[in-house]
Structure 1
């Protein structure tokens, strides 16, 4: 297919959430490999690996197994859900209107947007730490409040430029920047591996199997689950004929390779630096392990890796914001998003005393409704043959996805019930004495072993599979499914003007 002017490298993408017509579809499944590789070469994988050893009591070999299962498995799910993007040509949360109804979809969309903002704030904060450290090492410029704000603005400016240009530029940068920052990461990884206290690594006792189960859940929640409702955003330009299995494989290997390396290295480093997992500034904690000559490439790699992850998140957040009903152009939505992210970065660096504690807590809580959405959306994707492009853009009563009052109650009930049950098994805390939330079953066998997310996923999927059979409006919509190749210009204008 011919590439439209709307999706060329260096050109501002003017398309918002309206489905991509078949005549403008192009590319191949391998693009998803570079998308998810780029998103996961940031240094945040190191503290995750350290947490497996320091907090969960696993040895290196157990941590490596956990890293493989948690990262490859969760991103295989991301790839599977991205199949909806190439089928419907629209972002994930826009496609979700066909599942939850044009009004009911507001709940999952809002949760997703908050999740995006959280990831972006973490990325922005960590990148600012990296840039501050780089200025100190390279030029002897010490950290102060004004310089901190400037570093935040530099990172946000880079993010805004890339995300603002849009899909084609992002996909191009993901591939070529991955080579550059990937090589820098390999150099740093090789040096860090040489500093590992191997005697401590090999003498570490075997941790309990329950900790491995908990670790898999933690890695899945901290990596793939957070991206599960974004895969379609990047697959929507792909031709329908692209095999779904290739999307799954490209996503799993693209993210799994860098994550396993970084998480495993983090678990190795924790043998000599057990405080790495709880460091308020993980960039500086790792930087302290390096000689000054190695710090510069490390900090550049850290900044670049975080940028590659952040521009993906901001791009998806802009699409999610439009889906939520904020009537702005995609470029303005991206701008509004980074303003909120900047405020979050100021809070984390200048006000908050603990960095990684709130991060893990944030992931724990938002993983519940996102996992519930995944369960519902996955079941719908397995039985759905097509999406109605015009109906996706019509949020009025005449929309095919209006169902009852704008809500698909089968999906809404399944989602809500799964969230409530999932929270029963969830505890979110930054320490033993700072508990943000603790469900009544958080200390049961399921809760203690970190299986609440499994219960949430299974319950959401099972409940929806049952309830959709009982919901007459859903059965009627399913019987009318037919592929739509184009979206009416008037419908597109309704959402993007």
Structure 2
């Protein structure tokens, strides 16, 4: 594999940092931002704490900004760069996590689209029932599959227009929330615990936003013009994701003062729809549902490519059947068996956040400790690179396992998940911290061994 096969060709590096802002803004102007706001409120925080948690959680996009900057500097996409930290074969582990991340978010989008359609059924006075859920799932899932016949250029144009329309409608709805919000109730909310309330709220938002998106950040950064400002790439990526996410989460916090059940309901979209004037609710939810369809198709194609990097190569029809089955079975469980979207969503983010937080911590520590002079191509080339970088792999495994030991939820109880670690997602921060410590210890051991050799 030559340099041109590792690095993005100069002729393809045409993006400006400003273009990154639009790309990340469009990716995060979604109705899930309101859901994140509802989850923050569920941690029993005061209004000030909830808004601050929204801000700090949104600023987790500093991580993708950093990764994007590395991608621009090297002209290499994320999972080729991470070969240096994990080894050629060892890199397949984060590849698997990335695939799970992609498939999980696909399922979340399918569930979201289904619940949006169920809420829209209210227009024709059809109440929510197992039958209407099934019909909505068939309709939305069918739209996703049928959209597979559209090419990516068409999907991109549709997504662009829907993003602008959705963004404008969101501003209008935020204005309605500001006028309808019960400000007295919001201001009088009692303060919650900073350790067992505020930090877990931040961690769950970070897991679903900045940490989750970090795996794709260098894929965009690598296509930025080589001579463009790296600082601009960092800030445009960071702000492009953080600004819409913070605004939407703040809107979710405000909405909880109008509809207190938003933080505990199994169907947050139904509660949200009930809080809106019917005329705008219909339009808003239609645009939101439509915007999810192109995202789902593009993610399906990306999931297939990700499988290929792991070494599992399947045809497009087989990939569609495989991923389609998975992303339908998960919504069936959540919608018909569990019946609670928010609790399952938090469960997904908690588990995934631990794996991804330790991954990105190892990746960035490797970049800081060993790649300040750049990445050697031989480390990223299958024919010459080491099969395993045990320093990175062991750090990731130790950090991930430790994170789970400090985590408990509906299906798992870690032996150390007591006190401030009980019933929250602080294991995400634990995993990241342990990864940094392990990489630091690895660096010290390496330096001592070099000193002995000399």
TM-score normalised by structure 1 residue count: 0.79
Task: Tell me, yes or no, if the aligned pair for 1:426 and 1:441 is still in contact at 8 Å.
Answer: yes
Asked if the contact 1:78–1:251 (Cα under 8 Å) also holds between the matched residues in 2, the reply is yes
Partner SS state of residue 47, structure 1: helix
Describe the shift of the 1:451–1:206 C-alpha distance in structure 2 as closer, same or farther (beyond 3 A): same
Q: Which runs of 5+ in 1 are unaligned?
A: 1-16, 429-434, 476-497
Q: Is the CA contact (8 Å cut-off) linking 1:60 and 1:264 kept in structure 2?
A: no
Structure 2: 5+ residue runs without aligned partners? none
**Conservation of the 8 A alpha-carbon contact between 1:149 and 1:346:** no
For 2:53, the equivalent position in structure 1 comes to 66
Contact 2:72 2:225 in 1 (8 A): yes
Report how far residue 390 of structure 1 moved. 7.5
Cα offsets for 1:292-322 (capped at 9, x unmatched): 2122122123224544654564454343222
Q: Given the superposition, is the C-alpha separation of residues 204 and 147 from structure 1 closer, same or farther in structure 2, using an over 3 Å criterion?
A: closer
Task: Quote how far apart the aligned CAs of 1:247 are.
Answer: 2.1
Corresponding residue for residue 245 of structure 1 = 231
- 1:25-48 Cα offsets, whole Å, 9 max, x none, are 111112221222122222222222
Where does residue 432 of structure 2 map in the other structure?
457
Whether the 8 Å CA contact 1:98–1:387 is kept in 2: the answer is yes
**Corresponding position of 2:204:** 218
CA contact (8 A) 1:376 1:411 kept: yes
What is the rounded CA distance, in whole Å, between the counterparts of 2:423 and 2:136 in structure 1?
A: 43
Q: Note the 1:237-386 alignment, pairs <5 A.
A: 237-307=223-293, 310=296, 313-314=299-300, 316-328=302-314, 336-382=322-368, 383-384=370-371, 385-386=373-374
Aligned to 1:490: none
- Correspondence 1:400 to 2:381: no
- Once residues 229 and 440 of structure 2 are traced to their aligned partners in structure 1, the CA distance between those partners, rounded to angstroms, is 25
- Give the stretch that moved more between structures: 318-327 or 356-365: 318-327
Task: Specify whether residues 154 and 389 from structure 1 end up closer, same or farther in structure 2 by C-alpha distance, changes over 3 A only.
Answer: farther
**1:155 aligns to what?**
144
In the alignment of these two chains, the number of paired residues is: 439
With 223-232 and 133-142 compared, the bigger mean Cα shift is at 133-142
**Aligned with 1:199: secondary structure?**
helix
Partner in structure 1 of residue 173 of structure 2: 188
Q: Is the 8 A contact 2:37 2:251 kept in 1?
A: yes
Cα distance in 2 for partners of 1:418, 1:18 equals: 29
Matched residue, 1:409: 390
Q: Is the 8 A contact 2:143 2:293 kept in 1?
A: no
- 1:431 is matched with none
Do the aligned residues in 1 keep the contact of 2:110 with 2:140 (CA within 8 Å)?
A: no
Deviations 1:153-203, CA, capped at 9 Å, x for gaps: 213544x467x62xx777766654432210121222222333222221122
User: After superposition, what is the alpha-carbon deviation per residue over 1:93-152, rounded to whole angstroms, capped at 9, x for unaligned?
Assistant: 232222211111122211221121111101111112223433552697983634531222
**Distance in 1, Cα, partners of 2:395 & 2:218:** 22
CA displacement 1:352-390 (0-9 Å, x = unmatched): 422221110111111111111111100122232444567
Give the superposition deviation at 1:344: 2.7
Equivalent residue, structure 2, for 1:6: none
Greater per-residue helix proportion: 2
| Change over 3 Å in CA distance of 1:141–1:202 after alignment to 2 | closer
**Is the 8 Å Cα contact of residues 184 and 298 (structure 1) preserved in structure 2?**
yes
Q: Tell me, yes or no, if structure 1 residue 436 matches structure 2 residue 425.
A: no
Matched position secondary structure for 1:436? coil
Name the CA distance, whole Å, in 1 between partners of 2:17 and 2:157.
14
